[in-house]
A and B are shown apart, each in its own frame.
Chain A
């Protein structure tokens, strides 16, 4: 498991929460953030698979 990707994912969680609070109407950006989060989760999962 990579600490860096986990850390970046954590930052994206912060971005998502902060966007919901400050720019709740920007649905497009929120969707994009969500997609990017999934992408990073996949990166983490792929890496874990390789390790296993």
Chain B
């Protein structure tokens, strides 16, 4: 009773915490008191007994938010958590046991609220268990969740938390998240990635690649830094940019054969990528019709087609038959067509032991692939040329097809052979009327692989012809010195920049614009497509500085940074993939041109004709070249900043610097060669009417072709020692420019330290050269300079691995290198120890060459030891030919090996121990001569 009275009194008052605390338990538990206590202040709930708290919360779940941590955790397990609307604040009060209850009963909420550390650990566990359960593995710990729920949980977490699991979770969870994301539509994957870039690795691989490629913004230098597979993907989907791809990438793409190109695209790529792309991609990338377009004018280019197709070992031989059928389908006269086919078939019966095709096949196809020829030639005349190869018959056929002016051209070039005519279309009257006969002479003198197609192209298209004419005239006016690479550059640039060149008024540009165009065309391979119109040309120095700045910032290694500075200052391209004399990086330029030696030697500077500005440039380049330490990377950055901010340092100022150096080395080398006058002063005897000049200990320096009796050069097969050309065969091979190659590989044979030019003991008869005129020397070194003797090569590639590499050295340096090299090779038994000097086969500038020869001919045969009957017969054949063609005297230069013990064979070369002991008199003598020469 008293208790009831007390309750009624209390219900009329405000029940404070203190009052409630003092109440007996029975009153505390009274429902009315509890209700009043809470209505006075809801926060009083924390002063109730746990079971009462649970009861109250179950009546009104919003009360759980008022509970303190202790009470919440005490009652939590009695509550229905689905009604609690658990948020971060509430969740943060839960202890481990109760948060596990949330995990079990409402995992989605749990993973939304749990902190990063727990999220990664718990979800990893859940994922692992779920995966195990799915795969029938018994679960001992943790909680497995239905896969669909798990998927929902993970996706509901959002990009940031998914990223945490992907990056910090277990192996299983990473894999699960990756699989999950990759199963999403591309747009959703992208959305996740855009919100959290850390999810990159979880994206579909293809999407990853697309993102990486897209991130490059089509900037070539960034594309070239991508992994190889991505570069392949990029260039495959952007074929118009394939010419910027590294050679290896292009090769791989084209090798698939699933990348059809037009003839024009293949040409364009080949100019940048080189001979191999051209040679090996024709049959893989071109449809038959495109192929016919490419070889439309017949001529020597057809040889390339033959070497790819005419291989009787496989079915490719059938392909050339198909092409011939296709080509002859335009001949309406059935009998004539059949007659052509019969001639073709008769040629295909045999296969040459030297090349994949016979000379007859080559002559036949060269003519059959020319549309004009097959319309005008009678089968009998074709057969006559195919069988005999007589130049007069060829002239008749071509005169019928192209006009009588062909005879005039052949009259001017009596030594002209099929090998030198890239396409018969060069005789097109349109070409001669617009570009002049001079153009024909250039084209047949520098018969690069790709000219044929381009000549066909401009001959057929008047607009194209006009554009080419403008560029041709522009280029000729800009090149004071025409060298072997000029024509190549003209065709290459015309091919690569047709759009730009067609919109420029080339005959009306300012000197600055022309300088900028020259510079851009020269360095386009390095800077990429930067110029699109005349305004770009006006601002080119600014545009290129921006470009180089971006490349400099991206460069990581000192060699890359050095090359950026080097290219920026000189306008030279740097192509580490295909290093030629014109595309070496700074380090090789310093070595090959002996720059360190030049800058220390004022006399040399004067002799080279370098001005003090150029010396300052070389000093700077030499200094930059020495910055190779990691700690010097910031210095290189500072150098570039200073250089790019300077007003006077632009590449137009240094255009001829390296030409001067190259010319100087060439001149000095030539000065040391034995000339005709010296030879004429030597005693001579006559054998069978052939002058024989004998060297019996006298000093001499002769340049000998590596080709000679017993070893010859054939295109596609390289040097063949087994051919043993001699006599008429050797003459014919030589007159055909050894299948049209542009350069001659020579060795310096010297009385002091000479070795046999081929390095092979048994072979010692070589064609020799004595030069009284200008000789364009490509490179010279104490060892093989790794020259490629191809038709298209204007600049020789070189390598440093294992050899001294290409080097512009003095004659004495070459001798010294040779001696050292022989000593080295004596130990290693390497057979490539001859020194090498590469020269061009034709005189350089047709504008200044008088007469009809326009090609270098040997002055005689260099013979070490006895004059055999084979030597004599060969000399006779050459001598007769020289007499008939007014080419002067053909001599035999005989060297007595006993008087020059060092020069004949390897066995005469002292061993290392002999050299160390210095007991080889002739060797000491040779060394003294070298040292004397050096002084």
Q: B-contacting residues of A (Cβ < 8 Å)?
A: 2-12, 14-15, 17-19, 21-23, 26, 29, 32-33, 36, 39-40, 43, 46-47
Within 8 A of A (CB), among B607-622: 612-613, 615-617, 619-620
A5-B612, A26-B629 given; 12 more Cβ-contact pairs under 8 Å:
A2-B613, A7-B646, A8-B616, A8-B619, A8-B620, A10-B642, A11-B646, A15-B638, A18-B635, A22-B632, A36-B623, A40-B616
Q: How many whole Å from A1's CB to the nearest CB in chain B? A: 11
Q: In the bound complex, how far is the Cα of B653 from the Cα of A2, in angstroms?
A: 12
Q: In the bound complex, how far is the Cα of B831 from the Cα of A41, in angstroms?
A: 50
> Across the two chains, which residue of chain A brings its CB closest to B637?
A18
Chain B positions within 8 Å of A36 at CB level? 619, 623
State whether A5 and B613 are in contact (beta carbons under 8 Å apart), knowing that A12-B623, A22-B632 are contacts in the complex: yes
B217 within 8 A of A: no
Q: How many whole Å from A27's CB to the nearest CB in chain B? A: 14
Choose one: A2, A7, A14; the contact of B612 (CB below 8 Å).
Answer: A2
Q: In the bound complex, how far is the Cα of B615 from the Cα of A43, in angstroms?
A: 9
State whether A14 and B649 are in contact (beta carbons under 8 Å apart), knowing that A2-B612, A5-B612, A8-B620 are contacts in the complex: no
Chain B 624-635, CB within 8 Å of chain A: the 1/0 string? 001001011011
Choose one: B612, B620, B626; the contact of A29 (CB below 8 Å).
Answer: B626
State whether A23 and B613 are in contact (beta carbons under 8 Å apart), knowing that A4-B649, A11-B620, A11-B646 are contacts in the complex: no
Residue in B613, B634, B635 whose Cβ sees the most chain A Cβ within 10 Å: B635
Q: In the bound complex, how far is the Cα of B617 from the Cα of A2, in angstroms?
A: 13
B647 within 8 A of A: yes
The reply to whether B613 and A4 contact each other, CB–CB distance below 8 Å, is yes
Chain B positions within 8 Å of A46 at CB level? 612
The reply to whether A4 and B632 contact each other, CB–CB distance below 8 Å, is no
Q: In the bound complex, how far is the Cα of B439 from the Cα of A32, in angstroms?
A: 52
B490 within 8 A of A: no
Q: What is the number of contacts between chain A and chain B, taking CB atoms within 8 Å?
A: 73
Chain B positions within 8 Å of A19 at CB level? 632, 635
Q: In the bound complex, how far is the Cα of B615 from the Cα of A46, in angstroms?
A: 13
> Across the two chains, which residue of chain A brings its CB closest to B619?
A36
> Across the two chains, which residue of chain A brings its CB closest to B643?
A11
Could you tell me how many residues of chain B have their Cβ less than 8 Å away from some Cβ of chain A?
24
Choose one: B641, B642, B653; the contact of A4 (CB below 8 Å).
Answer: B653
The reply to whether B626 and A22 contact each other, CB–CB distance below 8 Å, is no
Chain B positions within 8 Å of A29 at CB level? 626
Q: In the bound complex, how far is the Cα of B647 from the Cα of A26, in angstroms?
A: 30
> Across the two chains, which residue of chain B brings its CB closest to A11?
B642
B639 within 8 A of A: yes
The reply to whether B612 and A43 contact each other, CB–CB distance below 8 Å, is yes
Q: In the bound complex, how far is the Cα of B653 from the Cα of A6, in angstroms?
A: 14
Q: In the bound complex, how far is the Cα of B615 from the Cα of A35, in angstroms?
A: 15
Q: A-contacting residues of B (Cβ < 8 Å)?
A: 612-613, 615-617, 619-620, 623, 626, 629, 631-632, 634-635, 638-639, 641-643, 646-649, 653
**Could you list 7 examples of A-B contacts with CB < 8 Å?**
A3-B647, A4-B653, A5-B612, A11-B620, A11-B649, A19-B632, A22-B631
Closest 3 CB pairs of A and B: A8-B616, A3-B648, A14-B642
Q: How many whole Å from B212's CB to the nearest CB in chain A? A: 33
Choose one: A5, A14, A21, A22; the contact of B616 (CB below 8 Å).
Answer: A5
Chain A positions within 8 Å of B613 at CB level? 2, 4-5
The reply to whether A23 and B612 contact each other, CB–CB distance below 8 Å, is no
State whether A40 and B639 are in contact (beta carbons under 8 Å apart), knowing that A3-B647, A5-B613, A8-B649 are contacts in the complex: no
Chain B positions within 8 Å of A2 at CB level? 612-613
Q: In the bound complex, how far is the Cα of B638 from the Cα of A2, in angstroms?
A: 23
Q: How many whole Å from B569's CB to the nearest CB in chain A? A: 10
Chain A positions within 8 Å of B619 at CB level? 8, 36, 39-40
Chain B positions within 8 Å of A14 at CB level? 638-639, 641-642
State whether A18 and B638 are in contact (beta carbons under 8 Å apart), knowing that A7-B647, A10-B646 are contacts in the complex: yes
> Across the two chains, which residue of chain A brings its CB closest to B653?
A4
> Across the two chains, which residue of chain A brings its CB closest to B654?
A4
Chain A positions within 8 Å of B646 at CB level? 7, 10-11
The reply to whether B643 and A15 contact each other, CB–CB distance below 8 Å, is no
> Across the two chains, which residue of chain A brings its CB closest to B622?
A36
Q: How many whole Å from B621's CB to the nearest CB in chain A? A: 10
Chain A positions within 8 Å of B642 at CB level? 10-11, 14-15
The reply to whether A7 and B635 contact each other, CB–CB distance below 8 Å, is no
Residue in A6, A9, A18, A47 whose Cβ sees the most chain B Cβ within 10 Å: A18
Q: In the bound complex, how far is the Cα of B648 from the Cα of A23, in angstroms?
A: 28
State whether A23 and B629 are in contact (beta carbons under 8 Å apart), knowing that A4-B648, A11-B639, A15-B639 are contacts in the complex: yes
Q: How many whole Å from A3's CB to the nearest CB in chain B? A: 4
Q: In the bound complex, how far is the Cα of B612 from the Cα of A24, in angstroms?
A: 30
Q: How many whole Å from A41's CB to the nearest CB in chain B? A: 11
Q: How many whole Å from B631's CB to the nearest CB in chain A? A: 5
Chain A positions within 8 Å of B620 at CB level? 8, 11-12
Q: In the bound complex, how far is the Cα of B476 from the Cα of A46, in angstroms?
A: 38
Q: In the bound complex, how far is the Cα of B649 from the Cα of A23, in angstroms?
A: 26
The reply to whether A43 and B616 contact each other, CB–CB distance below 8 Å, is yes
The reply to whether B632 and A23 contact each other, CB–CB distance below 8 Å, is yes
Chain A positions within 8 Å of B638 at CB level? 14-15, 17-18
The reply to whether A7 and B649 contact each other, CB–CB distance below 8 Å, is yes
Q: In the bound complex, how far is the Cα of B620 from the Cα of A33, in angstroms?
A: 10
> Across the two chains, which residue of chain B brings its CB closest to A4?
B613
State whether A33 and B623 are in contact (beta carbons under 8 Å apart), knowing that A10-B642, A22-B631 are contacts in the complex: yes
Q: How many whole Å from A40's CB to the nearest CB in chain B? A: 6
Q: In the bound complex, how far is the Cα of B637 from the Cα of A14, in angstroms?
A: 10
